[in-house]
Amino acid sequence: MAALAVVGRRSGRTRMVREMSTTLSLVSSSAVLVHLSGGYIELHFHFFVVVALVTLYQQWNPFLLAIGFVALHHGIAGVIDPTSVFNHPSALSHPWRWAGIHAAFIAMASAVGMANWKLNELARHRAEHYFQKLYEGEHALVQRLQETDRVKGELVAAVSHEFRTPLTAILGFAQTLQRNPQVPSEQVADFAARVLRQGHRLHQLVQNLLEAEKPLDETGGACDAEAVIRSSLATAAAVDRVPDRTVLLDIVPGVQVPLRAAATELVLTNLLDNAIKFSTPGTPLTVRAYQSPGGEATIEVANHGPAVSAELRERIFQPFVQGDSSSTRAADGVALGLHIVLRVVPANHGRVEVDSHDGVTVFTVTLPEPHARPARMVEQLPGPPRDSAVGVADPGRWIAPVPASMVTAQVA
C-alpha cells in the first residue's frame, strides 16, 4: 500500500498511472481492514468511503478498478479463506455470489458518485457560461457607453461649430435691418437672400441629424432620375455659398430610380453637397444617370479635387468623419451626408462605391431594377442625345471627361 501511494505521488508519472496506483492503495487498505477484523460486515463500509474519495478524481477508470478489485478480492479470498472476508453462513457457502453482490453495491455507489460529478460539472459549465455572457455583456456595455460618449462629444463639437456660422450670419443681418430701417431696397434684398441661404443651410444640417437617427427601412417607390437630379441641384445651390458653380449633366432620358423621390433627392443632395465642399474652386461637377443593360439604375456624382485615400474611403461613410475632422477644417458640415447615403441605398438592395484617382473623385449609386414601374411616368425634360463616345460607365470607375455636347446647367 505504501509503495502504491508513493507511485501515486510521483509527478513524473502520467495522470492515469497516479490515479490507478492511489485507488489500488486505498481499496487495498479496505481489504486489509476487512481481513484484520475477521470479515466483520461493518468494516466492509470502508470500501464506500474509498469510493467517495475516488469520486474526487472525476474519472471512470478508478471506479472500474474499485469494482473489479472488490469482485475478485471477495471471490478469490472468499474461496481460499472465507472467514477472513465474510462472517455469515450464506457468504461462507457461496463466496462468489456475495462477491458479486458486494461489487454491485460498489458499482451503484460509483454510479452515484459519477452522477454527482456530472451534475457538478454541468453546473460549473453553466455558471462559467453565464459568467462569460455577463462579462461580454458588461464589456459590450462599456464599449457602447464609450462609443456613445465619443459620438456625443463629436456631435456637440460639430453642431456647435456648424450652427454657429449660419446663426451668426442670420442674427447679424437681422440686427442690421432692425437698427437701420433706411437700408436701400437692393441691400435689403441681398440681406434677405443671404439670410435665406443660411436658413437653408441650417435646415439641411437639422435634416441630416434627424435622418441619421431614423430607423433603417426600405423606402420603396420609383421616380424619374432627371427630374430629381434637377430638384437636388436647386436644393444644393440654395445651400452652396460658391457662386457660378458649373454642373455638367449627362442624363439618359427615361431612367427610373427605384426609390421615392424624397429619398432619392436626399441621397443626391448629400452627394452634391459633398462634391461641392471637396472640389477644387472653379472646376465643374458632373452628374450622370443611366440604366445598365441589366436594368440597374446608376447615378454618378464626380468632382475634381484632392484624392480620397484608400484608408479614408473606408471611414468617410461613418458619422462625423471627414478627411479633416478638426474644428479648424476648411469644409463645413457635420459629416453625416455620406453616412445617410450609405443607410438609404443598401436598405433598397443597392450599393455605393467611391473611386478617386487622377484628380477626380466619383461616387456611384447603383440600384436594381424595380419590380413594378410607376403607372404614371414623370414628364421628361428635353435634352440633347447622349454622346455615343461616352458609353455606359462601369460602377465605381471614372470614364473620359464629359463632352461639351452634354447638357450644362449654370447653378448660382
Query: For the residues 296-312, what does the mean pLDDT come to?
Result: 87
The 3 state secondary structure assigned to 1-54 is CHHHHHHHHCCCCCHHHHHHHHHHHHHHHHHHHHHHHCCCHHHHHHHHHHHHHH
Q: In this predicted structure, what is the pLDDT of residue 317?
A: 77
Which residue type sits at 280? T
pLDDT in tens, 29-63: 888 988 888 888 888 888 888 888 888 877 778 88
Q: How many other CB atoms are there within 10 angstroms of residue 109's CB atom?
A: 21
Q: What is the pLDDT of residue 48?
A: 85
Query: Which residue in this structure is represented by grid cell 502520467?
Result: 14
Q: Is the pLDDT of residue 185 over 90?
A: no
Whole-model pTM?
Answer: 0.47
Q: What is the pLDDT of residue 294?
A: 76
Q: Return the DSSP state at 117.
A: H
Ranking 2-16, 132-146, 182-196 by mean pLDDT, the lowest is 2-16
- Sequence-ordered list of residues with C-beta below 8 angstroms from that of 149, at least 6 positions apart, any chain: none
Q: Which residue has the higher pLDDT, 63 or 408?
A: 63
Q: What is the identity of the amino acid at 53?
A: L
Residue 187, SS3 per DSSP: helix
Q: Does residue 389 have a pLDDT over 50? A: no
